[in-house]
Chain A
Amino acid sequence: MADQVLDAKGLNCPLPILKAKKALKSLESGQVLEVLSTDPGSVADFSAFCRTTGNELVEQNEADGVYTYLIRKTA
């Protein structure tokens, strides 16, 4: 489903957000970025990031310590 997957596992704040921002830049509006992170702080961070930037947090999951975020780029 995702147009691009960003593996940010093992990276600590603020790298998951910074790398996601960079990846989103290369996507077209409407495309979806999947981000994988092991940082528990990323849960609140990705919600805040999407709220502030207007990108849509389509889905958010966690399994075995890996958090997965599906972010749709808007505008």
Chain B
Amino acid sequence: MSSTDLKPGIDPNTMSIIVTKGTLDWAYPPFILATTAAAMGLEVTMFFTFYGLTLLKKDLDLEISSLGNPAMKMPMMGMHMGMPNIVSAIPGVDAAATAMMKNLIKKKGVASIPELRELAVEADVRLIACQMTLDLFEYSKDDMIEGIEIGGAATYIEVATQSHINLFI
């Protein structure tokens, strides 16, 4: 028996993801992983907390910003270009960057976040909203899509103790 063997009783085909970010770019990793894992037969739970909570809103209005993101260099005019931080401070620039990103996503045949979220719901991925974050940012359950659960840290920890793969995104 090697040290990498599972603790007895944990089903290897289980995964949990703590989702902490709510920008358009960061919405992709958790939803892609969750939907793909579900398609491959895993039982998946997503726990949305802090800025991740916004990914459960009925009206998704995700944005990106190049501010403080030196790795964001977009294909433009035949090369990859970044934007100086000071430019992101100009009103309208983040909106333009978001529009450009959405265009690129559509052009490349990448799924939209609403589409991926719908696929997650269809695949019975368990979606849990952090109660504390709802209170903190003064959101109500009605702001969120149907079919989600509400829970706190202990709810997540219980899921994690029974999950083989636990990710923090």
Residues of A within 8 A of B (CB): 10-15, 17-18, 20-21, 48-49, 52-53
Contacts and interface: CB of A to CB of B under 8 A. Distances in A.
Q: Helix, strand, loop or mixed for chain A's interface? A: helix
Given A53-B40, A53-B41, A12 B119 contact: no
Interface in B4-46: 32, 35-36, 39-41
B109 A17 contact: no
Given A12-B109, A15-B110, A21-B39, 13 more contacts: A10-B109, A11-B109, A12-B110, A12-B111, A13-B32, A14-B35, A17-B40, A18-B35, A18-B39, A49-B39, A49-B40, A52-B40, A52-B41
Given A18-B119, A52-B41, A53-B41, A12 B36 contact: no
A12 B40 contact: no
Contacts of A21: 39-40
Contact of B39 (A10, A11, A12, A14): A14
Contacts of B110: 12-13, 15
A20 B119 CA distance: 13
Contacts of B119: 18
Nearest to A38: B109
Interface of B: 32, 35-36, 39-41, 108-111, 119
Which one of B32, B40, B41 has the greatest number of beta carbons of chain A within 10 Å? B40
Nearest to A45: B36
A18 B109 contact: no
Nearest to A20: B39
A18 B38 CA distance: 9
Contacts of B35: 14, 18
Nearest to A48: B40
A42 to B, nearest CB: 12
A47 to B, nearest CB: 12
B125 to A, nearest CB: 12
Nearest to B120: A18
B41 A14 contact: no
A46 to B, nearest CB: 11
B41 to A, nearest CB: 5
B36 A15 contact: no
